[in-house]
A and B are shown apart, each in its own frame.
Chain A
Amino acid sequence: MGSKESSNDASETGITRRSLIAGAAAAAGGALAGGALKATELAAGAGAQEAADPTKVPGDRPQTLGSRSPHETPEKLVSGSIGGVTRTPLQDLHGTITPSDLHFERHHHGIPRIDPSAYRLLIHGMVDRPMVFTLDDLKRFPSVASTWFVECSGNGGAGYTETPRPDMTPQELDGLLSCSEWTGVAVRTLFEEVGVHDDATWFLAEGSDAAVMSRSIPVEKAWDDAVIAYGQNGEAIRPEQGYPARLLLPGWEGNSCVKWIRRIELSDRPFMMRDETSKYSDPLSDGTARMFSFDMDAKSLITYPAHPVRLERDGFVEITGYAWSGRGRIDRVDVSLDGGASWGIAALQEPVLSKSLTRFRFGWMWDGEPAHLMSRAVDETGYVQPTVAEMQAARGPRSRYHYNTIRGWRVAADGSVTFATA
């Protein structure tokens, strides 16, 4: 209210006689409306008008649930229906944590509705004591928590070519990637409780969705860092992420982190389920296919500047993005301004956590000339994010899954930014 008027005769301080009058009128209007104004309208900003000077009008009252500013409208990108996906708007996020309502989704048969009081986790097979745990049971065990990324191993397939579509956004390209603080019970704690047999080498993780999503997991992962998670970013896991409990295998492909987990069966061999044979296996150019390729190798992506951003002027630009590795911590992120001919070292946001997203930043004085930005992650094992050409030479040009090749963005002289890998 009044912004148009005040902008016409704005003084250097931004406070004018007109805007003061307008502010007073707004305050009076609010007082008159009194209880007739619905709190939710104020909170959501629906119909709420912004004061020309917010220091001169009472603010909104607090609500039972927070909400985003009406000016901030990040959205997941939805593809398909109940067998489909949603992608996280990576280019809209700060820091390393993905807001839970923006976490990507990949479902194989929709999102089940589960009554937490009816929830059961069955653990059986090669165990001393087949047992059933309620959600309350799971929460009574000692809890563990850490910040881990989850990424679909099919993420970024459109970047596995030297001639990709140039008009892709970070979200379209690599949005099957998110990062949360997960809380739950260590699977090893449950395995000790049921007495897993020494000769058990695999376990089946089965979801309670309509696809009964199932994966075979090596028992070693349970003794290492596998978690049955019920908490995400301080609240209960959301339905889209596996409410009320999911398997979380830090650093491993998202599909193996079975959501809505209801059953674990210990065995001495894998189960050869559909989503570990016909899907989520990686054909190689020697006529074989790699299976049980769980680990997500090191990868990075510049999220700014990125398509469809247009740089408005030369001068300082902070290049920023994510780096991550399923094998541990990110050791270094290199940034190139010239398509990989030369590299500088990006600053990493602390703390750098294992199997988590790491935010990198690299200051750039853009001279207005064309540039080709690239990022290259190196993890603590010494693995260097490969070029498309290197990975295609190792696997073949049509291999599926685990597309962690170097990504880049071409900046044109007019400031437009387009996706390019080579």
Chain B
Amino acid sequence: MRGRRHARMGPATAIRVVLATIVIGAVAVGCAAAAPEGAPTEAAAPDASTSTGPSGPVGGTRPAPGSFGFGRPAMPAEIAAWDRDVGPDGVGLPPGSATVTEGLEVYAARCAVCHGVDGTGGPNDVLAGRLPDDGFPFATDAAPYTVGSYWPYATTLFDYVRKAMPFDAPGSMSDLEVYGAVAAVLLFNDLVDDDAVVDADLIASLRMPSRDRFVPDDRTGGPVVR
């Protein structure tokens, strides 16, 4: 907590401040459980006989953690309306499927204008292309960052296309259309065959070529340049 000052307080008050500070300190490190139910969070009234200056915890008082009472419970329907992300384990993928054939129609209608007829054009991001032996030379050589060369999870493709594409009408495609667009992009990257049916199971289980390339951040500050 900022600006703790114990000067100009009587000893009894200072002890109360310390107790209150311990409770507040628990909040600061997120140990909500450390503050017992109904714990006092307010210093007692100052003792006029021992203190003539300011008293009580610096910054005044606040309720126990988690008990401000602001906000309201979220209703299941409103959670469902917004909770549409798709995780790397496939959680969030909707029912349905699309064949590659269906997907190519969706792609031609909704995607090709920005990404080319087979995902290798522009004017926006190049989507398709694999590198020899699925190499990963991005830090040293000029190489296209495509779904097949760089994206580690196919679930990301479904998530992003459903919420943000097509660019001129974001979020306007049905789940089946999204499955179709994903099917087309996977085909262009040689990640599915042209007779594939793309659904939640396929997307969640697809092992992307770059899947094992991604590592945690090992920078820590200090004298080493990483």
Tell whether, in the assembled complex, residue B66 and residue A195 are in contact, meaning their CB atoms are under 8 Å apart: yes
Tell whether, in the assembled complex, residue A206 and residue B66 are in contact, meaning their CB atoms are under 8 Å apart: no
Q: Which residues of A contact B30 (CB under 8 A)?
A: 188, 191-192, 222-223
- Quick one: which of B136, B170, B218 contacts A290, CB cutoff 8 A? B218
CA–CA, A132 and B68, complex, Å: 14
> Could you give, for residues 32-74 of chain A, a 1 whenever the CB lies within 8 Å of some chain B CB and a 0 otherwise?
0000000000000000000000000000000000000000000
Is the interface on chain A under 10, 10 to 19, 20 to 34, or 35 or more residues?
35 or more
- Contacts A124-B79, A137-B70, A398-B142 hold; do A142 and B223 have CB atoms under 8 A apart? no
Q: Which residues of B contact A188 (CB under 8 A)?
A: 27-28, 30
CA–CA, A144 and B221, complex, Å: 26
Chain-B contact segment, one of A91-99, A210-218, A313-321: A210-218
Q: Which residues of B contact A383 (CB under 8 A)?
A: 221-223
Minimum C-beta distance from B197 to chain A (A): 24
Minimum C-beta distance from B168 to chain A (A): 10
Say yes or no: is B219 at the interface (Cβ < 8 Å to chain A): yes
> Could you give, for residues 91-124 of chain B, a 1 whenever the CB lies within 8 Å of some chain A CB and a 0 otherwise?
0000000000000000000000000000000000
Tell whether, in the assembled complex, residue B71 and residue A271 are in contact, meaning their CB atoms are under 8 Å apart: no
Chain-B contact segment, one of A275-283, A355-363, A365-373: A275-283
CA–CA, A83 and B114, complex, Å: 14
Q: For A274, give the chain B residue with the smallest CB separation.
A: B160
Minimum C-beta distance from B4 to chain A (A): 16
Within 8 A of A (CB), among B26-78: 27-30, 32, 62, 65-68, 70-74, 78
Q: Which residues of B contact A204 (CB under 8 A)?
A: 85
Say yes or no: is A308 at the interface (Cβ < 8 Å to chain B): no
Tell whether, in the assembled complex, residue B215 and residue A290 are in contact, meaning their CB atoms are under 8 Å apart: yes
CA–CA, A365 and B215, complex, Å: 48
Q: Which residues of B contact A129 (CB under 8 A)?
A: 73
Q: Which residues of A contact B11 (CB under 8 A)?
A: none
CA–CA, A211 and B170, complex, Å: 7
- Contacts A271-B87, A273-B159 hold; do A289 and B214 have CB atoms under 8 A apart? yes
Q: Which residues of B contact A267 (CB under 8 A)?
A: 87
Say yes or no: is A379 at the interface (Cβ < 8 Å to chain B): yes
Minimum C-beta distance from A210 to chain B (A): 4
Say yes or no: is A7 at the interface (Cβ < 8 Å to chain B): no
Majority secondary structure, B binding face: loop
Q: For A222, give the chain B residue with the smallest CB separation.
A: B30
CA–CA, A122 and B77, complex, Å: 12
Within 8 A of B (CB), among A203-241: 204, 206, 210-212, 214, 222-223
Tell whether, in the assembled complex, residue B153 and residue A327 are in contact, meaning their CB atoms are under 8 Å apart: no
Tell whether, in the assembled complex, residue A285 and residue B139 are in contact, meaning their CB atoms are under 8 Å apart: yes
Tell whether, in the assembled complex, residue B217 and residue A290 are in contact, meaning their CB atoms are under 8 Å apart: yes
Tell whether, in the assembled complex, residue A141 and residue B70 are in contact, meaning their CB atoms are under 8 Å apart: yes
- Quick one: which of B67, B138, B167, B223 contacts A109, CB cutoff 8 A? B167
Tell whether, in the assembled complex, residue B32 and residue A288 are in contact, meaning their CB atoms are under 8 Å apart: no
CA–CA, A83 and B88, complex, Å: 26
Within 8 A of B (CB), among A140-193: 140-142, 188-189, 191-193
Minimum C-beta distance from B133 to chain A (A): 11
Q: Which residues of B contact A274 (CB under 8 A)?
A: 156, 159-160, 164
User: A-contacting residues of B (Cβ < 8 Å)?
Assistant: 27-30, 32, 62, 65-68, 70-74, 78-79, 82-83, 85, 87-89, 135-142, 145, 147, 150-153, 155-156, 159-160, 163-164, 167, 170-171, 210, 213-223, 225-226
User: B-contacting residues of A (Cβ < 8 Å)?
Assistant: 83, 108-109, 122-124, 129-134, 137, 140-142, 188-189, 191-195, 204, 206, 210-212, 214, 222-223, 262-263, 265, 267, 269-274, 277-278, 281, 283-285, 287-295, 297, 327-328, 379, 381-384, 386, 390-391, 394-400
Closest 4 CB pairs of A and B: A396-B139, A381-B221, A283-B138, A223-B30
